Chain A
Amino acid sequence: MAICTVYTPHSLNTHLGFHQKQQQQQQQHHHFLFYTRKPNNNNNNNRRVVNNSEISCSADADKTVVIGLAADSGCGKSTFMRRLTSVFGGAAEPPKGGNPDSNTLISDTTTVICLDDYHSLDRTGRKEKGVTALDPRANDFDLMYQQVKAIKDGVAVDKPIYNHVTGLLDPPEPIKPPKILVIEGLHPMFDSRVRDLLDFSIYLDISNEVKFAWKIQRDMAERGHSLESIKASIEARKPDFDAYIDPQKQHADAVIEVLPTQLIPDDNEGKVLRVRLIMKEGVKLFNPVYLFDEGSTISWIPCGRKLTCSYPGIKFSYGPDSYFGHEVSVLEMDGQFDRLDELIYVESHLSNISTKFYGEVTQQMLKHADFPGSNNGTGLFQTIIGLKIRDLYEQIVASRAAAPLEAAKA
């Protein structure tokens, strides 16, 4: 669904609205080209042609916004994706009628692709060469770049599928350019060409203690696993993780750090979490969230006379900081929400959270109360980042729609 507006020197008030599928839309562009003064030879690149002419068209306004989400395996990427797509409305589902082991999720606005699909070595290949999936040598960054760029330029691609069950590369699946493309996986910010395509990037930084606790939760029930095997796996992957995955966080526009709580002395259960949302300053169309007074340093315990919290309570802090040489704002939450009024109380004291109505964060958290982290900072900050991405997307669309209008007036 798109609206296309045509401004020609002859009829500045010509206004055409039509609703078409994307492929048809592109053909319409060719059509319109004859309207303008100079026919352009560069017919296979519609976008550029449209940009240079008087036509301000949906192709540009609809140009795919690309979001990158980096995290290690088992660190909450899928939960984050479900929260993000939920903010945009409608559930994300695997492509209908396709490979049942496809890693792709599609909703009305958003397509989420898993970067494991760009593995150049399958499971056997990695075993033979002695490289992990974390190693860049096991991944085809050229293809990743080409395909993400193509989608961003409005061109559908046939993306490979890495089958996590068999460990093989399956026949490719078609990916049509969505409004928002999320690329999630181990390396969305590793290759500078891919990184430059991202309109916004997020890194989920899970501390070793919490990673261990989460993997125990995930794997202990599985036959063959033990505390030793879970530990051994984390340790064996760590050198590659430190070399290739972790350094990407310096490029992220937002980092969600997940650490053990400081509210309970010597806690190593990993149930209560201290979560930090690190937001880069000066990112276009992204205004960091703040607590009470933007740019000040604040420590806040919401539990008191107005709000009663149960053990171990909730503690927030906020302030400016530096992260890999970048100026950032950091919002931190330690502890967990036990009741609804705690969450709404906290939400009402945060600013710049890009909600559309009072209580939207709380509503989103309640809607997915069964997702992991819905009672702590991981769920809160994932939801807020989801709202910030919606806001960013809406700003991009609005600015694209406004720019040619101004040009036409001038």
Chain B
Amino acid sequence: MATATVAIVGFCTSRVTIRGESRNTHVLKSPRLNNPWRAINANQFKIGSRMMSVKTKAAPDSISDKVSESIKNAEEVCAGDPVSGECAAAWDEVEEVSAAASDARLKKKEKESDPLENYCKDNPETDECRTYDN
């Protein structure tokens, strides 16, 4: 209990210093809901570990580019010497970025779908995830 209180106070006061807003408003409602830019702002100042980081959406596309680039590169490297360490390393990179691309696809899909649905996939027994027949 004590730790939780400390965390809230610390969390709010540090935000107050930056925005100079009253503490209560922050406790009662998250400013991020109405002012999403504030999340970015807060992130720059590295406030509180609770803040979710804001990530650009470009990631999956750039990984896709990396996959096709790495395949082209591997084909080129191996054309010269198909049993060299360089060839193996090049195809290993293909495997690595392909796995990363697959992960990114999954993450993107999860992000785009209903967060409650995602949560309930892993926690179907919780109250908010129960469904009733009637």
Which A residues are within 8 Å of any B CB, using their own CB?
21, 73-74, 82, 86, 90-91, 96-98, 100, 123, 126-127, 129-134, 164-165, 167, 215, 218-219, 222-225, 229, 232-233, 235-237, 239-240, 367-368, 370
Contacts and interface: CB of A to CB of B under 8 A. Distances in A.
Contacts of A73: 95-96, 99
B76 interface: no
B102 A219 contact: yes
B92 A236 contact: yes
A391 B100 CA distance: 33
Contacts of A229: 71, 74-75, 94
A97 B48 contact: yes
B90 A127 contact: yes
Contact of A223 (B55, B59, B68): B68
B41 interface: no
Contacts of B122: 82, 86, 91
Given A100-B53, A222-B102, A240-B88, 14 more contacts: A73-B95, A73-B96, A74-B102, A90-B123, A97-B49, A133-B96, A167-B97, A223-B64, A224-B64, A224-B67, A225-B67, A229-B75, A237-B95, A370-B121
* Prevailing SS type, chain B contact patch: helix
Interface in B79-114: 82, 84-104
B72 A134 contact: no
27 contacts: A82-B122, A96-B49, A97-B49, A97-B52, A100-B55, A126-B93, A130-B88, A130-B89, A132-B92, A167-B96, A167-B97, A222-B101, A222-B102, A223-B64, A223-B67, A224-B67, A225-B71, A229-B94, A233-B74, A233-B92, A233-B95, A233-B98, A236-B78, A236-B90, A236-B92, A237-B91, A237-B95
B89 A126 contact: yes
Interface residues of B, number: 46
B123 A91 contact: yes
B36 interface: no
B56 to A, nearest CB: 11
A25 B80 CA distance: 60
A78 to B, nearest CB: 8
A219 B100 contact: no
Contacts of A91: 119, 122-123
Contact of B89 (A86, A127, A164): A127
Contact of A232 (B67, B78, B96, B97): B78
For B63, B69, B88, the residue with the greatest tally of chain A CB atoms inside 10 Å of its CB is: B88
